[in-house]
Chain A
Amino acid sequence: MDQIIREKIKQVKKGDQSAFEDVVSFFQNKIYQHCFRMLGNAHEAEDMAQEAFIRAYVNIHSFDDNRKFSTWLYRIATNLTIDRIRKRKPDYFLDAEIKGTEGLDMYSQLASKERLPDEEVESIDLQRYIHQEISELPPKYRSIIMLRYLEEFSLQEISDILDIPLGTVKTRIHRGREALRKRLRHV
């Protein structure tokens, strides 16, 4: 598949717009899903996912062929969604930390309204519930957890996508896993 995408990108670079259609169609579910999980609603997800593809197209000449296209595309999509979140949320929420008990308390309080009593958990769609729990993580942990376990990127690739050091990726995935462990342990 990588090879096919590589070829398509070459054609797009030469100016063949129709080759881009195959690229969109191949990545549409992944990118839409990524945006949906980052943003939590279908309307914004569609807007941002479309915008990600449009930006990729417009800037296709700045894409280095030696790199993985998916990494580049996810990077565009992630940056767009984070910008969008930044515009609608107060800063403290976006940059919320989940280290130590204090952070967790603050974080749990924020989410407590939507929390379901344990007995109801069994009755709802578990998959949806998990999706919900992931989407309630602060964005900087959420993006990494999603990229690692739902999109199956390596930690190094995540470091490329988010343009942050590998060590930071590891710290955040560690905290993200701990936060989710606490939230999912009763499931």
Chain B
Amino acid sequence: MNCNNKSIELMHKYLDGDLSKGEETTLRMHLEECEACQKHFHELKRTITLIQSAEHISAPADFTSAVMKKLPTEKKSMKYTRWLKAHPVVTAAAIFFIFMMSGVFSMYNQNSELVVSKQENLIIQGDTVTVPEDVTVEGDLLVKNGKLIIKGTVDGNVTLINSKLIDEPIQSEGLMASVGEVNGELETVDQVFEWIWYKLKDLFEGVFAF
């Protein structure tokens, strides 16, 4: 056997666990009779042991916190979703109180009927409104007294009044989670003061609209 090529190649195949039975025998028999290759083989195995004993290096103590500080801020929708989940829906009395205060009976009447600002291309089942995956809602979307699932895109602000944004469990063949997108503000209104604030803002925006 040619020591410089063939047997050294076999040694590397051995180290990678790629040696066939036949090759193993060939290598073993050669090593038994060739001192140079024995030495080479020994050095290779020792090199690996040495590599594995290289100095271990630890990250600086504040590494994790430094990374966390540099991360972009969480998606607004997630914060709202989390906030919304943490706060229960308001009582009917509170809602009634708002009507009195804001005088918007036409908009927010006492019956809890589902109201959707636009309905084209949206799927409405019971009190659940879905923005399908391939749909882009152009402009603002308002949902009152219902649930909203956004799979597609809303190119505007989303306002939820006494409504919830639902996280859809994602089951799309191990692909990435494709949660829908809101390209504007996501606003949830289900508390007295929020509602008043919303109406006031609405009023001001109305007054100062261009």
Binding site for B on A (CB under 8 A): 13-17, 20-21, 24-25, 28-29, 31-33, 36-37, 42, 46, 49-50, 53-54, 57-58, 61-66, 125-128, 130-131, 134, 145, 149-150, 155, 170, 173-174, 177-178, 180-181, 184-185, 187
Q: Are B55 and A131 in contact (CB under 8 A)?
A: yes
User: Residues of B contacting A125 with CB < 8 Å?
Assistant: 55
User: Residues of B contacting A170 with CB < 8 Å?
Assistant: 12, 16, 18
* Cβ contacts B40-53/A at 8 Å (1 or 0 each): 10011011101111
Q: Are B55 and A24 in contact (CB under 8 A)?
A: no
Q: Are B63 and A181 in contact (CB under 8 A)?
A: no
Closest 3 CB pairs of A and B: A15-B78, A32-B59, A127-B55
**CB proximity to A under 8 Å, residues B1-54:** 8-9, 12, 15-16, 18, 40, 43-44, 46-48, 50-54
Please tell me which one of the listed residues B15, B66, B75, B78 contacts residue A177 in the complex, with CB atoms under 8 A apart.
B15
**CB proximity to A under 8 Å, residues B124-142:** none
User: Residues of A contacting B78 with CB < 8 Å?
Assistant: 14-16
Q: Are B55 and A184 in contact (CB under 8 A)?
A: no
User: Residues of B contacting A63 with CB < 8 Å?
Assistant: 176
Complex Cα distance A29/B57, Å?
7
- B174 proximal to A (CB < 8 A): yes
User: Residues of A contacting B18 with CB < 8 Å?
Assistant: 170
User: Residues of B contacting A20 with CB < 8 Å?
Assistant: 68, 71
Select from chain A the residue with minimum beta-carbon distance to B74. Answer: A17
Q: Are A33 and B177 in contact (CB under 8 A)?
A: no
Number of A-B contacts (CB under 8 A): 125
User: Residues of B contacting A33 with CB < 8 Å?
Assistant: 56-59
User: Residues of B contacting A16 with CB < 8 Å?
Assistant: 78
User: Residues of A contacting B57 with CB < 8 Å?
Assistant: 29, 32-33, 36-37, 131
User: Residues of A contacting B12 with CB < 8 Å?
Assistant: 170, 173-174, 177
Please tell me which one of the listed residues A25, A29, A36, A61 contacts residue B177 in the complex, with CB atoms under 8 A apart.
A61
Complex Cα distance A103/B143, Å?
70
Select from chain A the residue with minimum beta-carbon distance to B44. Answer: A181
Complex Cα distance A128/B57, Å?
10
- B206 proximal to A (CB < 8 A): no
User: Residues of B contacting A58 with CB < 8 Å?
Assistant: 72
Q: Are A149 and B48 in contact (CB under 8 A)?
A: yes
User: Residues of B contacting A131 with CB < 8 Å?
Assistant: 54-55, 57
A46-B44 in contact given A15-B74, A54-B71, A150-B52 (Cβ < 8 Å): no
User: Residues of B contacting A61 with CB < 8 Å?
Assistant: 176-178
User: Residues of A contacting B174 with CB < 8 Å?
Assistant: 64-66
Q: Are A181 and B175 in contact (CB under 8 A)?
A: no
Q: Are A54 and B70 in contact (CB under 8 A)?
A: yes
Complex Cα distance A123/B50, Å?
16
25 CB-based A-B contacts, threshold 8 Å: A15-B75, A24-B67, A24-B68, A31-B59, A32-B59, A33-B57, A37-B57, A46-B59, A46-B60, A49-B59, A54-B70, A57-B72, A58-B72, A61-B176, A64-B175, A65-B174, A65-B176, A128-B55, A130-B53, A131-B55, A134-B51, A134-B54, A177-B44, A181-B44, A184-B50
